[in-house]
Amino acid sequence: MTPLIFFVLFLFVIYLSSFQFSFTAAADPTYVYHFCSDTANFTRNSTFESNLNRLLTSLPTNASRGNGFSRGFFNATAGQDPNRVYSLFLCRGDQTTDICQNCVTFATRDVIRLCPVSKDPIVWYDECLLRYSNKYIFSTIETTRTVYLWNTQNATDPVKFNDLVGSLMSEAASQAVNDPKNFATKMANFTSFQNLYALAQCTQDLSSSDCNKCLRGAIAQLPTCCGGKQGGRVLTPSCIVRYELYPFYNEPATPAPAPTPVLLSPPPPSSVIRPRGKSGISSSTIIAIVAPIAVAAVLFVACLCFLRRRAKKKYNAVPEENADNDLTILESLQFDFETIEVATNKFSTDNKLGEGGFGEVYKGVLPSGQEIAVKRLSASSGQGAQEFKNEVVLVAKLQHRNLVRLLGFCLEGEEKILVYEFVPNKSLDYFLYDPEKQGQLDWSRRYKIIGGIARGILYLHEDSRLRIIHRDLKASNILLDAEMNPKISDFGMARIFGVDQTQGNTSRIAGTFGYMAPEYAMHGQFSVKSDVYGFGVLVLEIITGKKNSSFYQTDGARDLLSYAWKQWRDGTPLQLLDPNLTDSHSRNEVIRCIQLGLLCVQEDPAERPSMATIVLMLNSYSVTLPSPQQPAFFIGSRTERSLPTKEFEFSDKSTNKSMPWSVDEASITEVYPR
């Protein structure tokens, strides 16, 4: 058989294999993993068991009547408290109604076999998940039971692969949050002949914000569990993320190329003599078929290379001197000065919200009724036209719930004005450092603020189109919306990095005393770890309610970091806690955040955790935090510096057990539950 004929037959086999997938879809669902509660079991012949049997038996019928299988999601209850059973199922968003029904019907029988007396089990299959509980589980995020799975094969060029996984999973999560089914898939080219496929999905009872929180938390765990692996997934009871180098979900149907151009071609003239034992297909016919395919393949590869070259240019660091070109693109965001004057009542003192290092901020109302915050830069401020342009270019490209949203700008004569969304609760420092307002920030709100800031910085460092170093993280640059959600603001000092760039240098040191990392303050070196340092200072300030730059203790600790280290070293970390929180805090969360803050302010940038690791640490108690080293700017006596460090230990009973390793050989995927 000639190579050309073999190539044609190869294409034909690929075409036929596409049919085989649809014929095998009706088989039993593919089991992945399950959890049975070790602490909540029911007794045989109890009221709970009777309610459970009734619920599982009727679930397929009720779901069918309620269009649950067509939607891919359904929840139901049976019985009354204290023996009520809550149940839900979620089918993968690309599954047909029949496959969803088949998976759920199978799961209602299988879960009893897997967890015969458990009150709170969950079982995952490739096609669906099913769970029930004696506790209320609807519209609630649960990530305490998480399964990690990864392909045992390593990806080629793991750095490039991990970057693509991060960006593609982030795109999928953003799309899923806005999808009616909370489901999205994405595909991107990894190499000329290899694609990366990604999937993100939440249970449909979650709000958009909760879905986003769950997905971002799961994505943040991928580098830890699955970095550099050809496939990986994180399964939680509330959301699922997965990526592979093969299409593991059903792609939208596209018209298939006709597989039989050879069979339909007219027979050769009878005068042509066919060699015995050879194919009846003429060489000219084969060439006519293969040549267009080969040309198309070459053109396809050329297009990929061209697009990749364009993308590389697009994602490279943007020099500040090119901001003028960006401003031309952003013309649609430009406000005229008269409109802003009217909106702010000519910058009336009654409309003044505050005053920062670069100018004053006013509240305004546009003709449409939309409330805005107007940042008017003073002529004598340190921020010149270049910083102004830098902030406009940066913020206009950023979209994240924990970043303040830029609505527009004005650049007329000496006037440099930024127009932001109005955030009603001012900035974090307004509450944090005021003894009369500190009480409004209970521990749950502070913990929520810490997590929101971390997710916002993670977006800047890894999930946005460009890698961005903020360089000026501090409490006054954290705004709080009506629900006290944090929004990072003030990007006048921010710098854009290329996707492969890790650090930069500057001869102009600009920032705020008390928040600058030592390598930046002393040598002008900045990186993502510079922001981590600033975040660590913020965490310790949020816990203590004290400002680092104006902190002083008479017992030898002259700044907040030194005081925090002293209390940690002495085994008394809860002495750091704001007295307003003594009755409302979670002991383990506070200690964990103190440890995390101290890890962030270590002198060696390499020892500080990445923001992805920080988000993972905040979302998962199963992640063990290392012991922190002495902070970079530790100020104390020589005797204090020589004292040994005491290890402070604490335990969380709910996460104290160790989980076994297991390997799913069938799909060459390693599984690690927590």
Q: Which residues are within 8 A (CB) of 73 and not within 5 positions of it... i.e. 6 or more apart?
A: 88, 89, 90, 91, 181, 203, 204, 205
657 annotated ligand-binding residue: no
Strands (E) across 58-193 are located at 73-78, 85-91, 122-125, 128-133, 147-151, 183-191
Element (H, E) at 244: strand 239-244
Exposed e or buried b per residue across 202-230, where buried means at least 16 C-beta atoms within 10 angstroms of its C-beta: bbbbbeeebbbbbbbbbbbbbbbbbbbbb
Using CA atoms, how far residue 525 sits from 244, 257, 504, 521, in Å, is 37, 56, 6, 8
Catalytic positions, written as ranges = 472
Q: Which residues are within 8 A (CB) of 70 and not within 5 positions of it... i.e. 6 or more apart?
A: 97, 100
Q: How many CA atoms lie within 13 A of 494 on its CB side?
A: 29
Which of 616, 617, 574 lies closest to 594, judged by CA? 574
- The C-alpha atoms of residue 591 and residue 588 are separated, in whole angstroms, by 5
- The C-alpha atoms of residue 385 and residue 411 are separated, in whole angstroms, by 9
**Tokens 């994405």 found at:** 186
By the 8 A CB rule, do 402 and 455 touch?
A: yes
Looking at residue 323, its amino acid is A
- The C-alpha atoms of residue 282 and residue 2 are separated, in whole angstroms, by 12
Which of 219, 211, 213, 214 lies closest to 241, judged by CA? 219
Looking at residue 346, its amino acid is K
- The C-alpha atoms of residue 460 and residue 344 are separated, in whole angstroms, by 31
For residue 415, the tally of other CB atoms under 10 A from its CB is: 13
Strands 352-356 and 239-244: unpaired
Binding residues for ATP: 375
Binding residues: 375
